[in-house]
Amino acid sequence: MSHRVSPFQPRRLILAVLLAELAVGMAVPAQAQTAGPAAPDGADTETATLPQVLVTGQAETATGPVNGYLAKRSATATKTDTKLSETPQAVTIVTRDQIIDQGAGNLQDALNYAAGVRSDAYGIDSRSDGMLVRGVSPDEYLDGVRKSMSYYTSTARTDPYTLERIEVLRGAAAMLYGQGGTGGVVNMVSKRPQEVAQHEIGVQYGSYQRKQVQADFTGPLTEDGKWLYRLVAVKRDANTQVDYVPDDHALVAPSLTWKPNADTSLTLQALWQDDKTSSTSQFFPWSGILTSNPNGTIPANRFIGEPGFDRYNTKRTTFGWAFETALNADWKFRQNTRYSYNKNDYRSIYADSFSLPGGYNADPVNQAVVDRYASASLAQTKVFGADQSLEGNFVTGTMKHKILLGVDYLHYKQTGSAGYPLGTQIDVFNPVYTGFTFDDLSPLAANTQKQTGLYVQDQISLTSKLLLTVGLRHDKARNETEGSDTQKSSATTKRAGLMYLSDSGVSPYISYSESFTPVANSTQGQVFKPLRGEQWETGVKYEPAGSTLSLNAAAYHWKEKNQLVAITPVLSAQLDSTQARGVELEARGQVVKGLDVIAQYNYIDLDEQLNGIPSQQTSVWAKYNFALAGVTGLSVGGGVRHMNEFRDGTAPTTPDVTLVDAMFAWDSTNWRVALNVNNLGNKTYVATCLSRGDCWFGAKRNAVLSATYRW
């Protein structure tokens, strides 16, 4: 009996198409297709080898340096080196030059001007970078491998100084990564060894007693250029805008590249990081922040923990590699791996703002004294990830294919101990610190998560103008907590995108993608179901011929099941179904010679069950290069960020806010001296107040003077 593939079974249809194309491609390599069609206008010539020269003239790659604010290639959205103008999904790339010009000291700051991103969703937080992409917390990846798996205890903040670029893939991406919320993923690209020697050492001095020294050295180790190195190091001693909360930081990140020939490269990457801080988040109640309080307004610098007890200290060690080799002119193999070990000592006393709206359960009349929660944990987290893929190029009839076959593996394990002592009370407006000690920690049940995924993707040039991207993936995951039943889950996720390349540079597209994210069980023993979601997106990308300017617009609609929402700082719940619709506009690049601009506008209609975020955000950043009185290399920059008012569930309305950033710099052959000021007007603003009862302050004015010597 013959069997037909039902049109309502797209997974089988896509898989059948991909397997058939793969079989044809293996039998008929692209190099043998002497009568094949020409590549689309502006498309890659896969077999060409581009010369390696100085960064200022280097041909751009998906992982290499970029001049200015406009990157044109990425691997985040396809796992292949692909032009953004030929990628049927929204991607924002923050380049190294933008990080430098805006003086970004953390990931949140670096994403202040990124389309589709709420970079300070939970205000200033010394423990982690709390951003939202399309209304959802994104998973963080580093060089295409998952960086961490759970909140806080496995988190060590990535230093932007170690990065070449930060890439935000907006929308579901499980077909590529196996994990990642429906809103998107953030993939950070590490600095790698360069073929031309470049060295720099710099110092910084700024607000909150910030003192930092940093260095970045790279170049060839041997005369034949087969061995390259890079060494990045940072040491910082600083405080924060919250009393008794330091921001001390040290890291060393060496890397070594071996290139025995033009077809093969192996880059070994390592990192050692030691952070000593506490929690800038005090979980203040609504009253005294957004609603009236007889005692006035709570100061943004107020600390209501206990000096000497509160801490968030993390030591992180990682080692991995990126390997690539060309098997022949049409096929190449890649492997990216990383092992990371985090050791975290987290102790905190914070306001109980959750039991009663208003938060002053112990003092409802005077509204000055709050009860406090207390917690302490010592956690050890190990994460191993490996992603290996085979990329091939071939032609079938009139169609050109770039096919990707891959398998990735992820292993996460967390062990440790914790305790929850009885908290004490404190007067928020006149705190008296009484001292607090607690060392009675009990072992936690070990939590282990394993996941294996198989994926196949084909980027097809149907004609010289019409591009089709299709992909299919299957994942199996295990979530094990010692003493509990093992959770097993699996999912098949798919992706499809169609894009038209016009002669004018306008490229409309439509795409569909899905998400699947197993969630590690909490240290409190909560067991979570995997997140599942889907997204439709339509958009247009425009790159005027001969310019360094890109204009992009996207509209989307996503749905997701089992989204996590926080009930208290340590307990969460999962929602049955959530959704969002939105529109994003973005422009970046050089408008005229000497003037670089980044502008974006976000509109989102988010399900009210999720944490409230502004329905509208907009920002503009511009930098102008000029000479004055015979002095060359001067530049001035400034930006404006605005979000409208919003509310989270039953919480009071968080007011709208407009913030201004500024920069002035002088660059010469060897020197760069710059002054960066974020929140120039020193506005005290509330980033959000949550319906569960607590509020989060945004970052106040932060000024940093830096001097860097390069040779």
- Residues 93-115: tens digit of each pLDDT: 999 999 999 999 999 999 999 99
CB burial of residue 153 (10 Å; 0-12, 13-18, 19+): buried
* pLDDT tens digits for range 620-644: 999 999 999 999 999 999 999 999 9
Mean pLDDT, residues 465-486 taken together? 92
Average pLDDT score over residue span 569-593: 88
- Give residue 436's pLDDT band: very low, low, confident or very high (50, 70, 90): confident
Q: What is the pLDDT of residue 40?
A: 38
State the sign of the Cα–Cα–Cα–Cα dihedral 146, 150, 156, 160: positive
Residues 254-290: tens digit of each pLDDT: 999 999 999 999 999 999 999 999 999 999 999 999 9
pLDDT of residue 516: 86
Question: Given this model, what pLDDT does residue 126 score?
Answer: 93
Mean pLDDT of 335-356: 91
**∠ Cα 264 269 273 (to 5°):** 170
Per-residue pLDDT tens digits for 56-96: 456 899 999 999 999 999 999 999 999 999 999 999 999 99
Assess whether pLDDT exceeds 60 at residue 571.
yes
The sign of the torsion formed by the CA atoms of 215, 194, 318, 259 equals negative
pLDDT of amino acid 576: 80
Q: Cα–Cα distances in Å, from 222 out to 64, 167, 193, 219, 258?
A: 21, 32, 13, 9, 10
pLDDT tens, position by position, 409-418:
999 999 999 9
Read off the pLDDT band of 191 (50, 70, 90): very high
pLDDT classification of 523: cutoffs 50, 70, 90: low
HSE at residue 552, side-chain half, CA atoms within 13 A, is 31
Contact 287, 367 (CB under 8 A): yes
CB 389 within 8 A of CB 370: no
For residue 148, CA distances in Å to 274, 316, 454, 525, 651 come to: 16, 11, 21, 19, 31
Q: Which of 11-15, 84-88, 305-309, 372-376 has the lowest mean pLDDT?
A: 11-15
Distance of CA 377 to the CA centre of its chain: 26
Instruction: Give Cβ neighbours of residue 399 (< 8 Å, ≥ 6 apart).
Output: 37, 460, 461, 462
Pick from 248, 257, 71: nearest CA to 167: 71
3-state class (DSSP) for residue 205: strand
- Reduced to 3 states (helix: H, G, I; strand: E, B; else coil), residue 330 is coil
Instruction: Quickly list DSSP for 576-626.
Output: S-EEEEEEEEEEEEEEETTEEEEEEEEEEEE-TTSPP--SEEEEEEEEEEE
Average pLDDT, the chain: 89
> Which pairing describes strands 184-190 and 139-142: parallel, antiparallel, or unpaired?
parallel
Burial of 675 (0-12, 13-18, 19+ CB in 10 A): middle
Contact 649, 612 (CB under 8 A): yes
Q: Are 317 and 382 in contact (CB under 8 A)?
A: no
CB count in 10 Å sphere of residue 622 = 15
Q: Quick one: pLDDT band at residue 520, thresholds 50, 70, 90?
A: low
Q: For tokens 């290399």, what's the residue?
A: 633
Q: Which of 163, 145, 71, 29 is nearest to 109 (CA)?
A: 163
pLDDT at site 356: 63
Q: How high is the pLDDT of residue 524?
A: 63
The full DSSP string for 458-508 is EEEESSSSEEEEEEEEEEEEEEEETTSPPEEEEEEEEEEEEEE--TTSEEE
Burial of 57 (0-12, 13-18, 19+ CB in 10 A): exposed
- CA dist., res. 634 & res. 674, Å (int): 10
Minimum mean pLDDT range among 18-22, 175-179, 423-427, 554-558:
18-22
CA distance 468 to 571: 43
Calculate mean pLDDT across residues 476-499.
Answer: 90
Please compute the mean of the pLDDT values over residues 323-328 and round it to a whole number: 97
pTM of the shown model: 0.89
- Across 649-672, b (16+ Cβ under 10 Å) vs e yields eebbebeebebbbbbebebeeeeb
User: What distance in Å separates the CA atoms of residue 121 and residue 690, rounded to the nearest whole number?
Assistant: 11
- Is the pLDDT assigned to residue 344 strictly greater than 90? yes
Structure tokens at 611: 């944490």
| CA separation for the pair 342, 132 (Å, rounded) | 24
> CB 70: neighbour CB atoms within 10 A?
23
Residue-wise DSSP of 138-162 = PEEEETTEE--SSSSTT--PPPGGG
In sequence order, which ranges of 41-161 are alpha helices (DSSP H)? 96-101, 107-110
d(CA 258, CA 323): 10
Question: Residue 272 pairs with which residues in a beta bridge?
Answer: 252, 317
Instruction: Report helix, strand or coil for 69.
Output: coil
Q: What single-letter DSSP state applies at residue 441?
A: -
Q: How far apart are CA 55 and CA 71, in angstroms?
A: 14
Length of the chain equals: 711
126 and 303 Cβ atoms separated by less than 8 Å: no
The pLDDT assigned to 22 comes to 40
Mean per-residue pLDDT for 549-558? 97
Q: Which of 518, 449, 569, 535 is nearest to 130 (CA)?
A: 569
What are the φ/ψ torsions at residue 237 (nearest 5 degrees)?
A: -125, 115
In whole angstroms, give the CA distance from residue 251 to residue 234.
5
629 backbone φψ class: left, alpha, beta (φ>0; ψ -120 to 50): left
pLDDT at 538: 98
How many beta carbons lie within 10 A of that of residue 612, not counting itself?
Answer: 19
Helix (H, G, I), strand (E, B) or coil at 17: helix
Distance CA 476, CA 449 (A): 11
pLDDT at site 396: 95
Number of C-beta neighbours around residue 509 at 10 A: 22
Euclidean distance between CA atoms 444 and 372, whole angstroms: 23
CA distance 279 to 55: 40
Q: What is the CA radius of gyration of the chain?
A: 26
**C-alpha to C-alpha distance for 558 and 474, rounded to whole angstroms:** 21
Alpha carbon of residue 400 to chain centroid: 32
